[in-house]
Structure 1
Amino acid sequence: MTDQETTTTTRQRIADALRADPATASELSANVGVSVSSVYGHLQHVARSVHGQDGEQFLVAPPECRNCGFSAFDDPVNYPSRCPECRSEGIEEAVFKIE
């Protein structure tokens, strides 16, 4: 573990990574060292804590179906297993950013 990993929480590291560059949950998982499913749980907390803090916004480019282009998923801070329109399992991951 680096010094930063011992002094900051996983959520702080995720928030810092999203302030630096947009990222998917898979990219955050690799950068922060936690599972993808864990990243989604942390993202929901990060979104709530960032909302309105110092004028920052938690932004989400929603997941999108590679087959039909559907992107109106109910919860963009979650990874859908398949498209509700065409039932395809080919879903592009959402991209998250704090600005």
Structure 2
Amino acid sequence: METETTRQRIAEALREGASTASDLGASLSLPTPVVYDHLDHVSRSVAESDGTEQFLVAPPECRACGFDGFDDPVNEPSRCPECKSERIAEPQFVIR
């Protein structure tokens, strides 16, 4: 029987190294949108902890023009607001 919650397993995976939501979903058998919901909670938990750790986000980036100024870096945009390309690299998350 597993004693860790899904959020604890996500946090532990991010302590081991950077990962995208789809990578986390594949390793934990979760749909990517569900992982994004959990990431929001994990980021708040880390922020409210004792301050020894940080939840860091490498924002999504347009593979066509390099734009990385998306409004919500903890979400996967569908299209670049600059060039309208749909070739967007997923954001990466890590806990350090």
Normalized against structure 1, the TM-score is what?
0.92
Instruction: Return the match for 1:77 from 74, 79, 82.
Output: 74
The residue number in structure 2 matching 1:46 is: 42
**C-alpha root-mean-square deviation of aligned residues, in Å?**
0.9
User: Which stretch of structure 1 is more off in the superposition, 47-56 or 58-67?
Assistant: 47-56
- Equivalent position SS for 2:66: coil
The answer to whether residue 82 in structure 2 is matched with residue 64 in structure 1 is: no
Deviation at 1:53, TM superposition (A): 2.0
Q: Which has the higher helix share?
A: 1
For structure 1, the residue ranges without an aligned partner over 5 or more in a row are none
Equivalent residue for 1:13? 9
Query: 1:27 & 1:73 partners in 2: Cα distance?
Result: 21
| Alignment size in residue pairs | 95
Which position in structure 1 is the counterpart of 2:24?
28
Q: Which runs of 5+ in 2 are unaligned?
A: none
1:15-70 Cα deviation digits (max 9, x unpaired): 00000010001110011111001000000000000015241000000000000000
TM-score under structure 2 normalisation?
A: 0.95
Sequence identity (%): 62
